[in-house]
Amino acid sequence: MRFRLQAREVRLQLDSCDVATAVGRRDYAVLVLLARLGLRGAEAAALELDDVDWRGGEVAIRGKGRRLERLPLPVAVGEALAAYLTGGRPRCGAATVFVTARAPYRALTPMAVRQIVARACRRAGLRRLGAHRLRHTLATAMLQAGAPLAEVGQVLRHRSHLATATYAKVDEQALRPLARPWPGRRS
């Protein structure tokens, strides 16, 4: 089983969103958050309006164990959020960034985020994938680009290096040159 997506597959998912519509701008912003910041689906759903510090260029993430952690706000993520907030999000009393497309407007649930990813896969002609696959993809891409495991763990907000190490095991092609021949066998 391949845990990571190819860059082309991520781009297909993002490009499948019709950003000329409010729903498309919302879905695009959700996918960009998952793909560029490695958020879990529940973290994207829980993102609140006050969590985005536009002036400071940071976003606060409500992670596992109710921890609140700050991440830099990449330009692509900020632009996607701004496009949705100014041209897609309905006026409502919900504190969360992402809300349902029809009244009564409510916060998106983690299940709704999974459905956004599933619909993007279908539109892009990909097999159905979970939101967590985008997190794996970011982690392995960072490792392939030479980021140390500790840095990947910091971006993913892991408490343990062991949790981050599972992402390193995924990329068998990158690990193959590191494998030593079995003693007594010809290489």
Are 104 and 17 found together in one domain? yes
Are 47 and 84 found together in one domain? yes
89 touches 103 (CB < 8 A): no
Strands 58-62 and 68-72: antiparallel
Are 105 and 169 found together in one domain? no
Are 95 and 52 found together in one domain? yes
Could you give phi then psi for residue 52, rounded to 5 degrees? -95, 115
Task: With respect to residue 65, please indicate whether it lies within any of the assigned structural domains.
Answer: yes
132 part of the active site: yes
Question: How many structural domains does the chain have?
Answer: 2
**Whole-angstrom distance, CA of residue 13 vs CA of residue 25:** 13
158 part of the active site: yes
Question: Residue 175: its pLDDT value, please?
Answer: 56
Catalytic one of 64, 122, 161, 169: 64
**By residue range, what is the domain housing residue 152?**
137-173
Question: Residue 141: its pLDDT value, please?
Answer: 85
Catalytic one of 25, 26, 36, 40: 40
CATH of the domain at 34: 1.10.443.10
Look up the pTM and report it.
0.84
Task: With respect to residue 20, please indicate whether it lies within any of the assigned structural domains.
Answer: yes
- Cα 4 to chain center, whole Å? 12
* Residue of 43, 34, 98 whose CA lies nearest to 65: 43
8 part of the active site: no
Are 18 and 37 found together in one domain? yes
SS3 53: strand
Residues of the chain where predicted confidence (pLDDT) is lower than 70: 1-4, 167-179, 185-187
Question: Residue 172: its pLDDT value, please?
Answer: 58
Question: Residue 174: its pLDDT value, please?
Answer: 58
Task: With respect to residue 185, please indicate whether it lies within any of the assigned structural domains.
Answer: no
Are 83 and 121 found together in one domain? yes
Are 115 and 32 found together in one domain? yes
Are 89 and 32 found together in one domain? yes
Task: With respect to residue 178, please indicate whether it lies within any of the assigned structural domains.
Answer: no
SS3 74: coil
130 touches 114 (CB < 8 A): yes
Catalytic one of 4, 26, 157, 167: 167
135 part of the active site: yes
Catalytic one of 36, 135, 136, 157: 135
Are 71 and 150 found together in one domain? no
